[in-house]
Every structure is written in structure tokens, then in C-alpha cells.
Chain A
Amino acid sequence: MVQKLDQLTETASQTAGPYVHIGCIPSFAGLEGIYPEDLGRSPIADGAMGTPITITGSVFDSTGWALRDALLETWQADAAGIYPGQPGADPAVSGFCRFAADGQSGLYTLQTIKPGPVTLPDGRVQAPHISVWIVARGINTGLSTRIYFEDEKNESDPVLSRIEQRPRVQTLIAQLTGGGAYRFDIRLRGEGETVFLDM
């Protein structure tokens, strides 16, 4: 016999299901007015410093069908690479956004400012990125990934550099489609599958 570790086991995940919008963005489900407004409508307030950007895309299943029922959450640093809550963070950046794929087209849109590079405690620097968490019917545990940007220096990013199959790095890089506009598609399974993170 040995001493007990006295630790608990994390509660198991279960799918968010097709009605996740009721709990997370009730006005999308048709429950307008139950709260004054949905939580996480925008990651920025007026006066946020940095370059405004718009990211659009879809979440595709293995057949190439764009999910109509996906819910996405994003979390990001401010333009200086400081996370909300850390000393010196831009008070106009909440950093958190919650949005759904459109029920008709399956397209999502995120309007924010481009985050800055994030320096790690050990001195390495992460290229500008936005963390993404995806839940939906059929996804049993929420999936994590990151949006990097085509027009940033991504070569020495400590996460991207750990992806063995180099062509897969592209699955995490948003493509510039116009002034401040990017496209970022997520492929859950099969050809072109997005790199999902376990961090």
C-alpha cells in the first residue's frame, strides 16, 4: 500500500448537442429577451487598440458539409500580446467571443482586432493567434485549435513548429482575402483535417 494522492478526476465531457444555442446564445435559438444580451457578443469594445480584422469561415464534416449547428468560442490577447486580466492589458479588449455558424449558410464571422505576439515565461514567442473552441452535436469533447495569420511571422512559433507533417501547418493559418479580411475553415475529419490541440 502507498499513500493516497487525494486527487479528483475531471468530469467527463458530453456533446453540447443541437440545442447548445439555448444555453450559450439564447437569442440565436429564439429566446430573445431572457437575458439583456447574449454573452460574448464581441471580444472588443469601442477604443480597442490594434488593427480591426474580420475572419469568416465554416466548420466542415468529413463529407464536406458545412455544419449549421456549430458553436465557436474564441479567446485572444490584445494588440500588445497581453491577455485580459494580466497587468497592462487593454481595458477595451475582453478577448472572448462566442458565435454560431449561420443556420442557413454554415458561415461564421468574427470581428475583432489582431492580437499581438505572446511571450512565454521561458522567453519563446508565440506568433499572433486566436484560440478557438468548437462544440456541436456529434462532437463529444470540445475541440481546440488556433487561428494564425498568413501575413505574420509564423516560422518560429513553438506550437506550429511541433507539427510533424509540414503541410498540415496550413490548416491553422487564416488566408488573407482583402484588407483586414481573412478566411479560416475548420475541417473536423478526413482530407485537410485541421490540427486540433491538446494543451
Chain B
Amino acid sequence: MAASLPLIPRNRAIHPDSYDPGYKTSMSRAPELPLLSLDSTPSEETGPRFGHGTIGPLDNNLILNWTKGAAPAVGERILLHGRVMDEMGRPVPETLVEIWQANAGGRYRHVKDTYFAPFDPNFGGCGRTLTDADGYYQFMTIKPGAYPWPNRGNDWRPAHIHFSVFGHAFGQRLITQMYFEGDPLIARCPIVATIKDRGQIEQLVAPLDMAMAKPMDFLAYKFDIVLRGRRHTLFENRPEGM
């Protein structure tokens, strides 16, 4: 069955360094010993699936979902859209995409966020949706603000949106962050800089997409996501060495 096709081994060089002195918290939380690399098994090749019953009609609209449509959030209105694919370029349909973000002032609605930028009473900060049959997704939201964070003396996070994507296998699980074209803070961010491959950083920066922007209403940004692929060969699932 398709759910048991092996996963392509992850290329760790295109992911961030786990230990990076520029991002101080990583220094006590990054494994020191090598990971144990093995072929995937059904434990990694299968994964949770979520149906349309899980998703409410406003779940992908962060401008309206906190107030259930009663009042819109403050900020630069944007459509965020893109496609989830695997490394072989195949669309990943019907998969859950979750996002979370700060409000337009750079404040998260979280018990641990003590930055003095005010809450927006009309903004919660999370959304979720399923990709369609071709792997496409869309969110309506506001552009989050940049904010300072305790790391080096004066570090600021560029405006960003956190993405959590499931794929169809637990071994495809990915959490990442999307940045906005033209933000001068990207080049100064120590969390961005944990990624050493410049091309991979560029893949996290969403371009302004005027073709999808609606006049007198919202701007648009496009962000495609690539998950681990599967090996499709005729020679799987035989006893070892045969």
C-alpha cells in the first residue's frame, strides 16, 4: 500500500545547525552525539490524517477567527497562499497546515509573552486548513510585527509566520517559519542564520504576489513548502539482500 513506501533520507545539511552559539538557547538543547540514521519503517511511513470535520469555516481566517467574525483584526491585510509538495514534486493533498503568529504590533497572545506591545482584542494568532487535491492552501491574516527578544544585546525577529505541516507520514513532520520579501531584519536574525545554506534561507522568504492581491482589500504573499519524498521503486519490501 502507498502508505508504506520508504521515505527518502533527510539531507541534514540543508537544515539548520542544531548547535549554534548565535542562538543561545540551542547551546543547551542541541544533541551532542550523532543521530542514529536508519531506513524508515512503517512507524515513520504512516502518520495521522485529519479530515474536513476537524476544520471550522473560519479556521483559515486569522482576521476573523478570534471574534468569530464579529470584528476584524488590526493590521496590513494579507492573503497567504501556496502549495505543499514533496521532494519528487508531487502535490501533498488533504494535509493539515497550521500557522501561528504575533499581532501587527509584534505581540503574541501567549501567557509567556511579556513584550509591552498591546494585544489586539480582535486577534488570536492561530489558524489551520487542509490542502486541496492539488496541495494548495490559503490563509487570510494580517502581517505580523517585528519584535525584540532576549538573546544577544539587541536582537529582533523579522516579521514571520510559523508553519506546522504534517504530510502523510510521521517522518515528514515539519515546523518552519516564513519571512516576508524585503525585510532588513532577516539578514540580522540569529534564528534565520542557524541555516547555513543561503538558497534554503531564500526558500523561507515569501515574495509579494500582486497577481493574487485584491484591489482596495488585501495584499498577497506566496509560500510553497516541500516535504520529504518517498522512494517509488519496484524493488521495495523484499527480505534484506534479495
Contacts and interface: CB of A to CB of B under 8 A. Distances in A.
Interface of A: 6-24, 26, 29-31, 34-36, 39-40, 61-63, 65, 67, 69, 73, 75, 77, 83-87, 94-96, 103, 118, 120-123, 126, 129, 131, 133, 135-144, 146, 158-159, 162-163, 188-190, 193-199
A18 to B, nearest CB: 6
Given A189-B30, A199-B38, 14 more contacts: A7-B87, A8-B86, A9-B226, A10-B226, A10-B227, A34-B66, A73-B173, A85-B49, A122-B240, A126-B41, A133-B173, A140-B17, A195-B36, A198-B37
A94 to B, nearest CB: 7
Contact of B12 (A9, A73, A198): A198
Contacts of B56: 35-36
A154 to B, nearest CB: 15
B61 to A, nearest CB: 11
B52 interface: no
Contacts of B108: 19, 22
Interface residues of B, number: 92
A24 B16 contact: no
B236 interface: yes
Given A84-B48, A131-B170, A198-B37, A19 B110 contact: yes
Given A12-B14, A139-B26, A22 B125 contact: yes
A153 B35 CA distance: 24
B174 interface: yes
Contacts of A67: 29
B112 A10 contact: no
Q: Is the interface of A mostly helix, strand, loop or mixed?
A: loop
5 smallest CB-CB distances across A and B, nearest first, come from A23-B100, A138-B25, A96-B48, A121-B237, A138-B29
Contacts of A133: 170, 173
Interface string B51-95: 000101001000001100000000000000000011111000000
Interface of B: 1, 3-4, 7, 9-12, 14-18, 20, 23, 25-33, 35-44, 46-50, 54, 56, 59, 65-66, 85-89, 96, 98-100, 108-113, 124-126, 128, 162, 164, 170-171, 173-177, 191-192, 194-195, 197, 199-201, 203-204, 225-229, 236-240
A21 B111 CA distance: 10
A22 B175 contact: no
B29 A189 contact: yes
A198 B9 contact: yes
Contacts of B47: 75, 96
Contacts of B66: 31, 34
Contacts of A21: 110
Contact of B176 (A12, A40, A83, A139): A12
Contact of B175 (A83, A135, A163, A190): A135
B25 to A, nearest CB: 3
B176 A9 contact: no
Contacts of B17: 140
